[in-house]
Amino acid sequence: MKLRKLFFAFCFISLATAGFADESEELKKKFADAKASLSSSLSSASEGMLDQFEIILPEANSLSGVQPDAYIGKLFPSLLPHFAVGINASVTPVKAAFISENMDKISSAVSSMFEATGAISESGDFSFDFQFPDTLPYPAASLSARVGGIILPFDIGLWGVTTGKIFHEKSIGNSPVFDFDYTAVGADLRYAVLEGAGLFPKISVGGGYQFARQNIGVAFAKDFTLDSGFEDADGNKYTADAKIDTAFNMKVDTHTFFGQVQVSKTLLILTPYLGLKALFTKSDCSYNWKYETYAEGTKIADLSDSADIAYKHTFSEVGIQTQVFGGLSLNFALFQTSLNAAYNFSTQMFTGSLGMNLKL
């Protein structure tokens, strides 16, 4: 009898243990599936925003090295030195729907994960409100210098700007924080087909290279209450106030080579000009994101995760883009100010800028 009782007891314990093991594995799978779904959404949203910024960035900086005169003359031999230094500030109107859409996508995915794991009961209690205007003015600026050639009729231009790196690891309070920081440098060489003697205009052909880097940082946090009896995959129960800290850092490096033709003609103190560019761009993109959930200061691993991903787009993937640019400068002795504009037929984006130069 004792042996039989022991046998049945052993069977009961074995079945119960097997049941607990199956339940534990099922719970772990539920958490793993929920986190995998969120990770996919976070990566999709990050890449969606980067795909837009890698189009915007070269366009926003495309007027940085523009000089109204199609050719500024030789440095030597020359009666006067021929060089110019100045500053250029531009704005590109950008449709901001892609930011709102991807931010909402992130919010919905986070809420869905918390619902699926039982951390919250209703997503309405765990949502983020991202408000953006329909159109955002994307700014860019640069310092530039251009110097005439020696003997041959060419000139060389250089330009660049950097704002440094500023990123928020955590949001300030419960409001989202956004960082937009960039670096852009470039150079080009123009050769004068016509130097503008007499009634003839100045016509130049040339080419150049521009590197532009955009860092986009987003951080936001949310306070909430874990549902009573919430249990993680290891069986730990939490019934406390909680907080999630989320941060995204996205970076895109663009490398743009371009060929151009430009024509200008000075009429008294005015210099109207017009040009055409063919642009070839490739990009290197990377992003990292993380979300960390804490209950009364204790990190909940099952509600926390991170990723660091990089990818590229080649010249052939982006293709050739065509841009028309032009403007009008007002010349006063050594000072020149100009209004410039550009339109990209491929991206259908418009950029306007104001330039000021000291010129000899």
Tens-place pLDDT, residues 180-204? 788 999 999 999 999 998 889 999 9
Residue 121: band (very low, low, confident or very high) from pLDDT cuts 50, 70, 90 = confident
Burial profile 25-64: b = 16 or more Cβ within 10 angstroms, e = fewer: eebeeebeebbeebbebbeebbbebbebbbbbbbbbbbbb
pLDDT at 20 over 80: no
Indicate the pLDDT class of residue 128, thresholds 50, 70 and 90: low
What Rg do the C-alpha atoms of the chain give, in angstroms? 30
Q: Give yes or no for residue 349 having a pLDDT over 90.
A: yes
Least confident of 46-50, 139-143, 167-171, 275-279: 167-171
Q: Is this model's pTM higher than 0.95 or not?
A: no
Predicted pLDDT at 209: 97
Share of the chain above pLDDT 70, in %: 88
DSSP string for 242-253: EEEEEEEEEEEE
Q: Residues 6 or more apart from 138 whose CB is under 8 A from it?
A: 56, 60, 91, 92, 93, 94
Q: For residue 10, is pLDDT > 60?
A: no
pLDDT of residue 126: 60
343 versus 165: the higher-pLDDT residue is: 343
| Amino acid letter, residue 44 | S
Instruction: For 237-281, write each residue's pLDDT tens digit.
Output: 887 788 888 888 889 999 999 999 999 999 999 999 999 999 999
Q: Are 224 and 246 in contact (CB under 8 A)?
A: no
Looking at the chain, list the stretches that DSSP marks H as alpha helix, in order from N- to C-terminal side.
2-60, 97-116, 315-318
Q: What is the pLDDT of residues 217-242, one digit of tens each?
A: 878 788 888 887 788 888 888 877 88
Which tokens belong to 16? 């119960």
Residue 206 has pLDDT above 80, yes or no: yes
Q: According to the model, what pLDDT value does residue 8 have?
A: 47
Name the DSSP class of 104.
H
Write down the pLDDT at residue 279: 94
pLDDT > 50? residue 17: no
**Could you report the per-residue pLDDT of 321-334, keeping only the tens digit for each?**
999 999 999 999 88
